[in-house]
Copies of this chain bind each other. A is one copy, B any other.
């Protein structure tokens, strides 16, 4: 094609035969365009049409030559902005072509190849900011680790050194029996290191340090999670049930052997027919005053104890929850120590043990079922801190209500609802460490002609992982807060702390489930290989949202307790007065609800911590008030309260969620206040902003419905979330390194 006029068609011809830019219809459009150009001779038309004929493609070399010609033009003319700019230069400013500009531009539009983007097909090696972004070190990792570990740094260090030993190499056998024994051996090593009895009183050989006990649970969770749960069953559930529900005679008899793992045991509460509604347990403990014994009995198959950890293989005793019957009167659920096996592991008479078999995860824990066929135990085996039977054989308790007594007993076991969310958080940290380190190195795609780019440079990948990283930091501080509240609790604070623990258990474990899901997907095929451990992390923690209280049920409880707090403040106020009260209680919020504030989008405002906290508080109060109003309306209209609560269940979840989000943000902000190292503080502030704004973004439907924000603001928040992700990305690897998870625990090849 030496004809200058015809040269104008070169870029178009190239596009016909190069990458999949034009479809058949579009090629036909180009065909017609050529046919209708009167200034072309019949021969020229024929020549051009031959070059777009699907039946006779040009040689590969011809297409390559077209490309070279165009590339030369582009290299020599940086001002080129469109395909037509190339055409006119190839045609050496031929007048005919120049006059045809509108026709060519229309053609390019018709073919969808208008604008600058179309010419990138010809450009080689573009400089892009997406490629330039890379990991740097904006703060000292060790200092941030210190802030995270706090006062428990010493015990955390000790546990890490133990689980990094060669004997803690992960078990790779798929044989459940082998795995269970390995986990049991690990537990014995930990017991020998005095980690199991960390929470028990010193006089029974314990460490009397609950804060350290929780730190142990959390740190162990960087290792195998079956180990953590087996450990928690033995030293937490079994041991703590003795400590919390028993009295001196039980402590002196059992605690030392439990702490040393000489006496492995179980916590037998859940029954097949009663999981969430434990008040309805059906196992009976019938008192025989004459013989001074109890008879423990399973009335029917579905009343068997189920999912009981340590039951299938190792447990020698169990704390069994059963309805106490004295002279045919039911005194509600109480707790009893029941032997299951002798020291040779032989199952005792009257006890039937089943094996729960293979589970989705935690297969190193021997969960089983237990049935009792009129098993006789001595009177002293009743855990009698909250209720007892006197010399005359009469029931005695400082708490007359059976339900209330039972829930008081359960309240003493709330520690489990602190250990589990902290374990869940550790698993999330492992997953994020693996996924973020991998994403920083894994390259895929890149600018035309340039190198491939780390996938963490892609906005969508940042969006998937970095808000979750921020949330993980946020929950870390919130769980420390709950732990501290629990350790320093007074009796009167218990209802609040129980609510906090139940709520944070749900919040943290749901968060972990979502995080590990995202991590798996973010690691693609590599995330599916067991060697990279997201498999185990995900499947082991999957049940965290169910055990220690089903999350949905816990959220209902949290909401109900918020609601009863609320109603105690308001009593019989009418709807209008309630609303007014809420407004008064959120004065800063009101001032923000004027048209200027609801539309305020300057960066200083959007990143302002007070704005964040106000928005969270406002939402919490409004949702609570609205749920209360709705319930009242439903009940006033004649609904049974049971039905009314059913109708608003969905809103109740929101009540609890909004409460927990506020707590988490508040605690994150307070932790930052207390941070001294300026570089650590700086990055924590960014993470906190990202947590706050991504939660607001998630809830934008609510904020818009309420009128607290207008569209212009929620849109600005979306952009700000993107921007924060982009700004945090260079520090992302350092932020996961600050979790300081031992390499041997992390183990995943893709993380190194």
Asked whether A530 and B62 contact (CB < 8 A) given A444-B275, A568-B112, the answer is no
- Interface window among A143-151, A204-212, A547-555: A547-555
Report the Cα distance A445→B33, complex, angstroms: 74
A114 interface residue (CB < 8 Å to B): yes
Instruction: Chain B residues near A120: list those with CB within 8 A.
Output: 640-642
Q: Which of A435-487 contact B (CB under 8 A)?
A: 443-448, 452, 457-461, 463-464
Partner of A546, one of B397, B528, B530: B528
Instruction: Chain B residues near A117: list those with CB within 8 A.
Output: 635, 641
Q: Do A653 and B460 touch across chains, with their CB atoms under 8 A apart?
A: yes
Instruction: Chain B residues near A407: list those with CB within 8 A.
Output: 19-20
Q: Do A649 and B458 touch across chains, with their CB atoms under 8 A apart?
A: yes
A408 interface residue (CB < 8 Å to B): yes
Chain B residue with Cβ nearest A29: B568
Instruction: Chain B residues near A398: list those with CB within 8 A.
Output: 57
Instruction: Chain B residues near A153: list those with CB within 8 A.
Output: none
A533-545 Cβ-contact flags toward B at 8 Å (1 or 0): 0110011001101
- Interface window among A161-169, A517-525, A582-590: A517-525
Instruction: Chain B residues near A492: list those with CB within 8 A.
Output: 23-25
Tell me the smallest distance from the CB of A537 to a CB of chain B, in Å. 10
Number of interface residues of A (CB under 8 A): 135
Chain B residue with Cβ nearest A569: B112
Most buried by B among A127, A463, A704: A704
Report the Cα distance A360→B530, complex, angstroms: 6
Instruction: Chain B residues near A706: list those with CB within 8 A.
Output: 711
Report the Cα distance A708→B172, complex, angstroms: 55
Report the Cα distance A408→B57, complex, angstroms: 15
Q: Do A448 and B642 touch across chains, with their CB atoms under 8 A apart?
A: yes
A643 interface residue (CB < 8 Å to B): yes
Tell me the smallest distance from the CB of A688 to a CB of chain B, in Å. 21
Chain B residue with Cβ nearest A555: B460
Chain B residue with Cβ nearest A274: B444
Q: Which of A7-23 contact B (CB under 8 A)?
A: 17-20, 23
Q: Do B57 and A535 touch across chains, with their CB atoms under 8 A apart?
A: no
Tell me the smallest distance from the CB of A390 to a CB of chain B, in Å. 12
Instruction: Chain B residues near A20: list those with CB within 8 A.
Output: 403-404, 407-408, 495
Tell me the smallest distance from the CB of A550 to a CB of chain B, in Å. 6
A357 interface residue (CB < 8 Å to B): yes
Chain B residue with Cβ nearest A398: B57
Instruction: Chain B residues near A110: list those with CB within 8 A.
Output: 568, 571
A572 interface residue (CB < 8 Å to B): yes
Report the Cα distance A632→B109, complex, angstroms: 14
Asked whether A571 and B114 contact (CB < 8 A) given A530-B358, A546-B524, the answer is yes
Asked whether A460 and B649 contact (CB < 8 A) given A17-B404, A307-B525, the answer is yes
A356 interface residue (CB < 8 Å to B): yes
Q: Do B643 and A129 touch across chains, with their CB atoms under 8 A apart?
A: yes
Q: Do A551 and B521 touch across chains, with their CB atoms under 8 A apart?
A: yes
A130 interface residue (CB < 8 Å to B): yes
Q: Do B642 and A130 touch across chains, with their CB atoms under 8 A apart?
A: yes
Q: Do B711 and A707 touch across chains, with their CB atoms under 8 A apart?
A: yes
Chain B residue with Cβ nearest A455: B276
A705 interface residue (CB < 8 Å to B): yes
Most buried by B among A62, A112, A275: A112
Report the Cα distance A513→B513, complex, angstroms: 12
Q: Do A360 and B535 touch across chains, with their CB atoms under 8 A apart?
A: yes
Instruction: Chain B residues near A491: list those with CB within 8 A.
Output: 24
Report the Cα distance A646→B444, complex, angstroms: 13
A350 interface residue (CB < 8 Å to B): no
Report the Cα distance A534→B361, complex, angstroms: 12
Report the Cα distance A643→B568, complex, angstroms: 56
Q: Do A109 and B19 touch across chains, with their CB atoms under 8 A apart?
A: no
A306 interface residue (CB < 8 Å to B): yes
A48 interface residue (CB < 8 Å to B): no
A378-404 Cβ-contact flags toward B at 8 Å (1 or 0): 000000000000000001011111111
Instruction: Chain B residues near A18: list those with CB within 8 A.
Output: 400-401, 403-404
Q: Do A59 and B109 touch across chains, with their CB atoms under 8 A apart?
A: no
Q: Which of A636-674 contact B (CB under 8 A)?
A: 636, 640-643, 646-650, 652-653
Instruction: Chain B residues near A650: list those with CB within 8 A.
Output: 459-460, 463, 718, 722
Q: Do B567 and A60 touch across chains, with their CB atoms under 8 A apart?
A: no
Report the Cα distance A95→B124, complex, angstroms: 97
Report the Cα distance A446→B274, complex, angstroms: 12
Q: Do B60 and A444 touch across chains, with their CB atoms under 8 A apart?
A: no
Instruction: Chain B residues near A524: list those with CB within 8 A.
Output: 275-276, 546, 550
Asked whether A528 and B359 contact (CB < 8 A) given A404-B18, A521-B545, A650-B722, the answer is yes
Report the Cα distance A72→B128, complex, angstroms: 81
Q: Do A356 and B19 touch across chains, with their CB atoms under 8 A apart?
A: no
Report the Cα distance A460→B506, complex, angstroms: 15
A115 interface residue (CB < 8 Å to B): yes
Tell me the smallest distance from the CB of A219 to a CB of chain B, in Å. 25
Chain B residue with Cβ nearest A641: B117
Report the Cα distance A547→B460, complex, angstroms: 19
Instruction: Chain B residues near A552: list those with CB within 8 A.
Output: 460-461, 464, 521
A175-187 Cβ-contact flags toward B at 8 Å (1 or 0): 1100000000000
Partner of A58, one of B128, B400, B408, B457: B400
Report the Cα distance A531→B444, complex, angstroms: 40
A77 interface residue (CB < 8 Å to B): no
Q: Do A447 and B24 touch across chains, with their CB atoms under 8 A apart?
A: no
Report the Cα distance A463→B25, complex, angstroms: 46
Q: Do B632 and A115 touch across chains, with their CB atoms under 8 A apart?
A: yes
Tell me the smallest distance from the CB of A703 to a CB of chain B, in Å. 9
Additional A-B contacts beyond A109-B572, A461-B552, A647-B722 (6; CB < 8 A): A106-B571, A112-B568, A273-B443, A275-B444, A277-B444, A464-B552
10 inter-chain pairs at a CB distance below 8 angstroms, sorted by A residue, are A19-B401, A20-B495, A62-B400, A112-B571, A117-B641, A270-B525, A446-B642, A528-B546, A701-B704, A705-B715
Residues of A near any B CB (own CB < 8 A): 17-20, 23-26, 57-60, 62-63, 105-106, 108-112, 114-117, 120, 126-130, 172, 174-176, 270, 273-277, 280, 306-307, 331, 356-361, 395, 397-404, 407-408, 443-448, 452, 457-461, 463-464, 491-492, 495, 513, 517, 520-521, 524-525, 527-531, 534-535, 538-539, 542-543, 545-547, 550-552, 556, 564-565, 567-568, 570-572, 632, 635-636, 640-643, 646-650, 652-653, 700-701, 704-707, 711, 714-715, 718, 722
